[in-house]
Amino acid sequence: MTQPSITLITGPTASGKSALAMRLAEETGAEIVGADSMQIYAELPILTAAATAEERARVPHHLVGVADAAESWSVGRWQAAATQALADIAARGKPALVVGGTGLYFRALTHGLADIPPVTRASSEALDEAGLRDALRALDPAAEARISPGDRQRLLRAHAVAVETGTSLSDWQAKTRPVLETGSWRALVVDVDRAPLYARCDARMAAMIEAGALDEVRALMDRNLDPALPALKAVGFRELSAHLRGEINLDEARIAAQQETRNYAKRQLTWFRNQTPDWERVAG
C-alpha cells in the first residue's frame, strides 16, 4: 500500500499556517499533527493560538493540548509521539499535515536526533569562551565553526560531549537517521513580508488579551509552578503575569508582549531562512 502523503507546514507566528492547514485538511481529509512546543500544553490555548474546540471538531488534531503545564516535553519526546501519530494516521489511510512553528521539531523528523549519552559538562565549565572555543576546535572543528559567538551553553555541551563520550557532537549527529523516509513528505514554509507580519503579531496579541489570555495566565500563576517549566516560557506569559502581579499596567504589558511576539517572529524567520532554504515558499 502506498504511504499516504505527509505535508510539513511551518512558518513564523501569525503567518497564517494554521488557517492554511485547516483548509488543506478539509479539502483532502487529512489529519493534523501539531508541531508547536507551546500548543502541546493544555492550559494556554488562547495565548498559544492553539486550535479551537470547533476546529478540532472539524479536523482531527494530534499533539495539541495533550500535556499538563507541570510536564516538560523534550524534542525527543515530541518526536516519538509524532512518529506514533503519523503511523496511526497512515494506518487509517489518511494524509497527514504536520503544522507548527517549532523548527527543531521539523528537524527532528527530517534529520533525526542523535542518541547521545548524558553528559555532566563538569569537564567544560571552568573554561571561558575563548578557552572553550580553542579546546572544541581541536576536538570538533565543525561544531566550533557553527556555534555563534556568545552561545556558551552550546559550546559547553559540544565540548562535554566530545570529552565525556569520546565522540564529537558532529559525529554523533552524522549518525542520525531521519524519521521520515525520503520521498514520503513535502514541506511548505508560509512566507509573509516582515511589516505585515509584525502588524499581525500586534493585532493577534491584542485580540488574545481581549479573548481571555489574562485568565489563562492567572490560573497558571495560581498553581505556583516552577518558572523554569517550558509552558511558562510561552510568548506573552512573562509580560501578562507581570501585569497581574501589579508591576506594570495592562497597556504596558500588551505593548511588551507585542514586542516579544515580533522578536519571536524575527527569530523564526531567520531560522527558516537558514535551515530550510530548499523548502517550498507559499504566500501567507
pLDDT-above-70 percentage for the chain: 99
CA 137 to chain CA centroid, Å, is 29
pLDDT at 2 exceeding the cut of 80:
no
224-270, pLDDT tens digit by residue? 999 999 999 999 999 999 999 999 999 999 999 999 999 999 999 99
Task: Identify which of 79, 81, 96, 84 has the alpha carbon closest to the alpha carbon of residue 4.
Answer: 96
Mean pLDDT of 110-114: 90
136-195, pLDDT tens digit by residue? 999 999 999 988 888 888 899 899 999 999 999 999 878 888 999 989 999 999 999 999
pLDDT at 1: 40
- The domain 194-272 is placed in CATH, from the list 1.10.287.890, 1.20.810.10, 3.40.50.2300, 3.40.50.300, at 1.10.287.890
In the chain, CATH 1.10.20.140 covers 129-174
283 Cβ neighbours under 8 A, 6+ residues apart = 190, 191, 192
Task: Identify which of 75, 62, 4, 53 has the alpha carbon closest to the alpha carbon of residue 33.
Answer: 62
CATH class, range 129-174: mainly alpha
pLDDT at 106 exceeding the cut of 90:
yes
Say which residue the cell 581541536 belongs to: 138
Start-end of H helices in the chain: 17-28, 53-58, 75-91, 103-110, 129-139, 141-146, 152-165, 169-174, 194-211, 213-221, 237-244, 250-275
pLDDT at 3: 46
Within a 13 Å sphere around the CA of 26, how many CA atoms are in the beta-carbon half?
Answer: 9
More confident residue, 2 or 46: 46
pLDDT at 151: 83
pLDDT band of 208, cuts 50, 70, 90: very high
- CA distances 234 to 111, 124, 138, 231, Å, are 26, 30, 38, 6
pLDDT at 120: 84
In the chain, CATH 3.40.50.300 covers 6-113+177-192+275-283
Joined grid coordinates for residue 126? 571552568
Torsion of CA 8, 11, 15, 18, to 10 degrees: 30
pLDDT at 127: 86
CATH class, range 6-113+177-192+275-283: alpha beta
In the chain, CATH 1.10.287.890 covers 194-272
Joined grid coordinates for residue 261? 511576539
pLDDT at 31: 98
Joined grid coordinates for residue 77? 519526546
pLDDT at 152: 87
6-25, pLDDT tens digit by residue? 999 999 999 999 999 999 99
The pLDDT mean for the chain works out to 94
Residue 184 and residue 41: Cα distance in Å, rounded? 29
